[in-house]
Structure formats: structure tokens, C-alpha cells
């Protein structure tokens, strides 16, 4: 199948027999996809949303095709620790939440209340950073979220049964985050990649190393499956190859500039993104070059998240604002 366009609003799409993808209308900050797998008896949900209202509408929509999930979901999988994939866990009626051990550990690092306080502290702030934070996070409701943690963890690989269906979980991180997992349904040729795949959106490498991410793309490509990315429209191996090629391009261009003595900011501004300049969030190149420079052993890494947002906000302000700003 070819790639599909994103819907105009959050939409549930059937991607295989009994398998649905919950697709966000755009793939930018916090606008994540999720999944529902049902074999006629048992169910599994792959990821929740960034806030409770979005998670409620996801569950309501999923219940129109599988009413059983109103009272019981057999398994909830969190592909990784970013809040846009797990903040809504408390709303899922399940006793079994699975994640990699690294993801479970990372989930406690940034409580939703801290995100809430950060966004509130920038309300009305008209600096580039203030406007960028509002653009990225200002439309979500981070109040009153109680983080519900995984009940069961694994490392490397795990097979789980959803009724008669065999679901293969592969821990492919650290890459995007410390413990990224993908979920593959061999019987129906569908894979949920979490944020190992951003499609037509600039990915974000919080953790690395980049070679893990490239190897994860190779694994996903070997499935030759209908591919549901963490952000962006449904795709197939063409989208998987795009992701791998982005990382090879960025790794090689960043390495040259590191070796020639450029700073991270100079490199981020100098790199020719080629066709990827048209992906959403091109300013994330700064964060990604920062992560690559860390791998290369640079001693000028921006260590804290706020300085990363400050640099991305400055690039966004100078290059991307007109295109990206439709924020109330
Ligand atoms: Zn995400």
C-alpha cells in the first residue's frame, strides 16, 4: 500500500483485520498516533494520548468498534516514556500495562505536573522560547494527570498473546528514548512503531545512539508490513526507508562538521536537509545534531531540555514561524 494522508481530525482507521490505528490530524509536538488490536475476544491498546481529554476521545472512538474495551482492556502497551504516549494510562480499564524496563524507569523522570508548570510559566511570554513552548505544548491540558506506571516490564523481546493473536514486542531503543519498543502483528502484517518512525515529520533523538535507530528501521523494513508511525500518516517500507535515510544523511553531515570544528549551532544551520526540509519541525535538527555531537564525544553539549528548546525556538522563530504558527 502507498502512504495515506492524515485525516482532518483525530480518526480511527482500520489497518488490518481487527486492527485499528488512531491517527492524529498532524504529526507535530504531542500529536501522536495509537493503536487497537482485537482478535474477537481479547484486546490490546498501543499507547495513550498526551492529555486526558484526547485519551477520552480515543477510547470513545475505539469503543464504537470494540465495545468490550469500555469495561476491560486486556493489555495496554506503552511504546516509550514520552508523555504523548502514556499520559492517558489512568483512563484505560486494564490490569496489565507492559513497557520495556528502561521505559518504565524513564516514565518517572518528567511528571505531568512539571510539564503543566512549565507551560503555565510561559503563558503570555512573547520571547521566541515562550512562543515556541506555547506552539509545541500550549494546546494540551496537563492538569490533574495521575501517571499510571507499567505493571510488567521486559528487555529485548517478548511475545504476548491477545486471544489467539501472537504479538511480537521488540525493544529497539535506546534510540528516540531510552527504551523504545515496536509491536508487530505477524498474522495481519501490521506494525506499530511508536516514535521510531516519524513519517513526513522530523524525528527527535532524545537518547540515541543513531545506529540503534538505523538498525530499528532495518528490522521494521524486514516485516514489509502496514506501518503505523508514532507521528504522521500510515505508511509502508517507503516511509521506513525515508526515516533511515534521514538519519544516515544527518549522521554523516554532522560528523563532517564536527570534525571540521563547527559548533552544534553552526552545524545545525549549515547542514543541507535536502528533501527533509519540507518535513514538519525542521528546527529539531538542532536537538538531533546535539545528540549526534554527544555520540561523537563533543564537550559542548546542551545538557538540559530548556536550552535545547531555546535553540530550537530560535531556529523556528527565524525560519519556520510563518508556516507553523496557527496557534490560538
Ligand atoms: Zn511521540
Whole-number Å distance, alpha carbon 313 to ligand 1 midpoint, is 19
User: If you measure from the C-alpha of residue 37 to the centroid of ligand 1, how many angstroms do you get, rounded to a whole number?
Assistant: 19
Distance (angstroms) between ligand 1 centre and the Cα of 178 equals 13
What spacing in Å lies between the alpha carbon of 127 and ligand 1's midpoint?
Answer: 25
- Give residue 302's pLDDT: 84
pLDDT at position 1, please?
Answer: 42
Contacts 24+ apart (CB under 8 A), 296-305: 296/254, 296/255, 296/258, 298/258, 298/264, 300/263, 300/264, 301/264, 302/264
> In angstroms, what is the span from residue 210 Cα to ligand 1's centroid?
17
How far is the centre of ligand 1, averaged over its atoms, from the C-alpha of 122 (Å)? Answer: 22
Measured distance between the N- and C-terminal CA atoms of the chain, rounded to whole angstroms = 36
Q: Please answer whether residues 11 and 39 qualify as being in contact, where contact means their C-beta atoms are separated by less than 8 angstroms.
A: no
How many angstroms separate the alpha carbon of residue 259 from the centre of ligand 1? 32
Instruction: Please identify every stretch of the chain with a pLDDT value under 50, giving residue numbers as ranges.
Output: 1-2, 323, 325-328
Ligand 1 centre to CA of 115 (Å) is 15
Question: Residue 119 is inside which H or E element, if any?
Answer: helix 112-121
d(CA 299, ligand 1 centre) in Å:
28
Q: CB atoms < 10 A from the CB of 307, how many?
A: 13
Write down the pLDDT at residue 321.
52
Distance in Å, CA 309 to ligand 1 centroid = 16
β-strand pairing of 19-23 with 11-16: antiparallel
pTM for the predicted model, two decimal places: 0.95
Q: What is the pLDDT of residue 288?
A: 98
Expressed in angstroms and rounded, the spacing between residue 22 Cα and the centre of ligand 1 is: 13
CB 147 within 8 Å of CB 89: yes
Q: In this structure, which topology does domain 11-324 adopt according to CATH?
A: Metallo-beta-lactamase; Chain A (3.60.15)
Spell out the domain ranges in the chain: 11-324
Measured in angstroms, how far is the CA atom of residue 106 from the centroid of ligand 1? 14
Between the CA of 67 and the centroid of ligand 1 the distance, in Å, is 27
Q: Please tell me the distance between residue 50's alpha carbon and the centre of ligand 1 in angstroms.
A: 9
Compute, in angstroms, the gap from residue 230 CA to the centroid of ligand 1.
Answer: 6
CA within 13 Å, CB half, 142: 20
pLDDT of residue 212: 98
Residue 205's SS3 state is coil
What pLDDT is attached to residue 281?
94
Ligand 1 centroid distance, CA of 121 (Å): 23
Each residue of 131-144: pLDDT tens digit?
999 999 999 999 99
Amino acid at each position: 500500500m502507498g502512504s495515506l494522508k492524515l485525516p482532518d481530525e483525530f480518526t480511527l482507521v482500520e489497518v488490518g483485520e481487527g486492527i485499528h490505528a488512531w491517527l492524529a490530524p498532524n504529526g507535530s509536538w504531542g500529536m501522536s498516533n495509537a493503536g487497537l488490536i482485537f482478535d474477537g475476544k481479547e484486546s490490546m491498546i498501543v499507547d495513550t494520548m498526551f492529555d486526558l481529554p484526547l485519551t477520552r476521545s480515543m477510547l470513545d472512538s475505539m469503543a464504537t468498534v470494540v465495545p468490550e474495551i469500555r469495561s476491560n482492556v486486556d493489555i495496554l502497551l506503552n511504546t516509550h516514556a514520552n508523555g504523548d504516549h502514556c499520559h492517558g494510562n489512568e483512563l484505560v480499564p486494564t490490569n496489565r500495562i507492559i513497557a520495556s524496563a528502561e521505559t518504565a524507569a524513564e516514565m518517572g523522570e518528567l511528571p505531568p505536573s512539571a510539564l503543566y508548570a512549565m507551560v503555565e510559566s510561559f503563558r503570555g511570554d512573547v520571547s521566541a522560547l515562550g512562543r515556541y513552548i506555547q506552539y509545541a505544548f500550549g494546546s494540551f491540558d496537563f492538569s490533574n494527570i495521575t501517571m499510571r506506571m507499567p505493571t510488567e516490564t521486559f528487555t529485548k523481546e517478548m511475545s504476548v498473546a491477545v486471544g489467539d493473536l501472537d504479538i511480537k514486542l521488540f525493544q529497539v531503543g535506546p534510540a528516540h528514548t531510552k527504551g523504545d519498543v515496536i509491536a508487530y502483528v505477524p498474522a495481519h502484517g501490521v506494525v506499530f512503531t511508536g516514535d521510531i518512525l516519524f513519517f513526513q515529520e522530523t524525528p527527535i533523538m532524545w537518547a540515541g545512539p543513531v545506529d540503534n535507530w538505523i538498525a530499528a528501521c532495518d528490522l521494521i523494513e524486514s516485516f514489509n508490513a502496514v506501518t503505523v508511525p508514532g507521528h504522521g500518516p500510515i505508511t509502508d517500507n517507503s516511509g521506513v526507508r525515508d526515516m533511515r535515510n534521514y538519519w544516515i544523511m544527518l549522521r554523516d553531515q554532522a560528523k563532517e562538521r564536527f570534525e571540521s570544528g563547527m559548533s552544534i549551532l553552526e552545524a545545525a544551520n549549515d547542514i543541507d536537509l535536502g528533501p527533509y526540509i519540507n518535513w514538519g519541525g525542521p528546527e529539531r535538527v538542532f536537538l538531533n545534531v546535539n545528540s549526534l555531537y554527544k555520540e561523537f564525544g563533543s564537550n559542548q553539549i546542551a545538557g538540559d531540555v530548556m536550552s535545547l528548546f531555546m535553540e530550537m525556538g530560535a531556529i523556528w522563530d527565524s525560519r519556520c514561524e510563518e508556516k507553523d504558527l496557527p496557534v490560538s
